[in-house]
């Protein structure tokens, strides 16, 4: 039995699973919106409040882990662990709880995300564009089967864009629209930085994962658009309704209340990306980093460290039990 812990800038996740008769069986999932990366862009540090939330969540995860006969676990720290000046202090506090965290680079994160998404899809020779919009970074991968043609991690995410562009609890719809337009333009400018590489690699299928994408897919479906798809035209059509709902604090079909404050920044990041790479329609993927981690753990279960190679350099597997 294995546990994969994904410590993102917005949410912490744990996935516990076992390998039975040649296939993975999920035993338990849990997540918490810790927002470890809140205000990191401004301060460069994990805030005391986020620090406390994060450790509380890890204590809960440790309790869950102790309830199962785990062979190995793997806890990965993503963007916030790459950019903050007190990440090592948090890692030591987590170690005291009993969880060893391994920070990974954006490219390493991208490799695992692609593995998780690609392995969940039917085999194909098509070039696949895979996107994961996190709280602090967005990973962009293009691959064909198991060959990676492009792997990039961009310093843009839903929490970072919220802190940079959106005033808290504003009820002025005109101001919100201006903030959203500015956030979309800035998002597109970021993604334009690698647009030549994206176009050179080329792609026939596009997939996106993460909480922000799940939220936008649910909103599109609730308003009569195709299930599991996000069309750029649909987002543009829904933009006035989204702004009205956020400014007035009213309900919006498909929106869960706990995701409300990240709706506009998540929308801005995704629209900017779709505009930059001329993506008219993107498919929601319910799997991503955690499933990629699990796949790698199972395939390398007899090793004490992840094998270093050109596809996945310099990451050690910690937490052998």
Q: Where are the domains of the chain?
A: 2-105+288-299, 121-284
pLDDT tens-place string over residues 2-40: 999 999 999 999 999 988 876 778 999 999 999 999 999
Question: Which residues are registered as beta bridge partners of 205?
Answer: 128
CB atoms within 10 A of CB 258: 10
Mean pLDDT confidence for 62-67: 97
* pLDDT score of 317: 40
Query: Pick from 282, 272, 308, 290: which is nearest to 184 by CA?
Result: 272
Mean pLDDT confidence for 71-94: 96
Under the banding of pLDDT at 50, 70 and 90, the label for residue 318 is very low
CA–CA dist 18, 24 (Å, integer):
6
Mean pLDDT confidence for 91-107: 96
* pLDDT score of 148: 96
Tally of residues, the chain? 321
| Main-chain dihedrals φ then ψ at residue 283, nearest 5 degrees | -95, 135
Q: Answer whether 139's CB lies under 8 Å from 132's CB.
A: yes
Q: Which residue has the tokens 């991968």?
A: 141
CB atoms within 10 A of CB 198: 22
Mean pLDDT confidence for 254-261: 91
Query: Pick from 301, 296, 320, 318: which is nearest to 109 by CA?
Result: 296
Mean pLDDT confidence for 85-99: 97
Q: How many CA atoms lie within 13 A of 40 on its CB side?
A: 30
Q: Is the pLDDT of residue 301 over 80?
A: no
* pLDDT score of 311: 39
CA end-to-end span of the chain: 10
* pLDDT score of 305: 47
Mean pLDDT confidence for 63-88: 96
* pLDDT score of 135: 95
* pLDDT score of 319: 41
Q: Is the pLDDT of residue 303 over 70?
A: no
Instruction: Answer yes or no: same fold for 2-105+288-299 and 121-284.
Output: yes
CA angle (158, 164, 167) in 5-degree steps? 95
CA–CA dist 118, 128 (Å, integer):
8
CATH no. of 2-105+288-299: 3.30.420.40
Under the banding of pLDDT at 50, 70 and 90, the label for residue 258 is confident
pLDDT tens-place string over residues 183-197: 999 999 999 999 999
* pLDDT score of 74: 94
Helix crossing, 173-192 with 158-165: angle to 10°? 130
Could you tell me which residues come within 8 angstroms of residue 236 by beta carbon, excluding any fewer than 6 positions away? 271
- Supply the mean pLDDT for the chain: 91
pLDDT tens-place string over residues 277-287: 999 999 999 99
CA–CA dist 98, 6 (Å, integer):
16
Q: Is the pLDDT of residue 315 over 70?
A: no
Most confident of 250-254, 262-266, 297-301, 303-307: 262-266
What's the CATH architecture for 121-284? Answer: 2-Layer Sandwich (3.30)
């Amino acid at each position: 039995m294995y546990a994969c812990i994904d410590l993102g800038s917005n949410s912490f996740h744990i996935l516990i699973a076992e390998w039975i008769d040649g296939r993975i069986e999920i035993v338990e999932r849990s997540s918490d919106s810790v927002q470890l990366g809140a205000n990191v862009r401004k301060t460069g540090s994990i805030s005391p409040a986020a620090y406390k939330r994060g450790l509380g969540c890890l204590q809960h995860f440790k309790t869950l882990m102790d309830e199962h006969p785990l062979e190995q676990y793997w806890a990965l720290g993503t963007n916030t662990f790459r950019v903050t000046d007190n990440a090592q202090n948090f890692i030591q506090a987590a170690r005291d709880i009993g969880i060893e965290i391994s920070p990974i680079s954006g490219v390493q994160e991208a490799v695992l995300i692609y593995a998780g998404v690609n392995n969940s899809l039917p085999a194909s020779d098509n070039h696949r564009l895979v996107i994961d919009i996190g709280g602090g970074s967005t990973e962009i991968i293009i691959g064909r089967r198991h060959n990676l043609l492009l792997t990039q991690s961009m310093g843009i995410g839903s929490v970072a864009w919220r802190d940079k562009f959106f005033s808290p609890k504003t009820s002025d719809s005109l101001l919100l629209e201006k903030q959203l337009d500015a956030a979309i333009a800035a998002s597109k400018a970021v993604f334009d930085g690698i647009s030549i590489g994206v176009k050179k690699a080329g792609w026939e299928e596009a997939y996106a994962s993460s909480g922000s994408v799940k939220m936008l897919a649910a909103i599109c479906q609730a308003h009569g658009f195709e299930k599991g798809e996000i069309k750029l035209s649909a987002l543009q059509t829904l933009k006035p309704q989204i702004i009205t709902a956020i400014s007035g604090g009213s309900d919006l079909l498909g929106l869960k209340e706990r995701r409300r404050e990240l709706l506009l920044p998540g929308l801005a990041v995704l629209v900017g990306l779709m505009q930059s790479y001329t993506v008219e329609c993107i498919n929601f993927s319910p799997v991503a980093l955690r499933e990629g981690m699990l796949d790698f753990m199972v395939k390398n279960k007899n090793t004490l460290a992840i094998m270093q190679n050109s596809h996945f350099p310099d990451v050690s597997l910690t937490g052998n039990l």
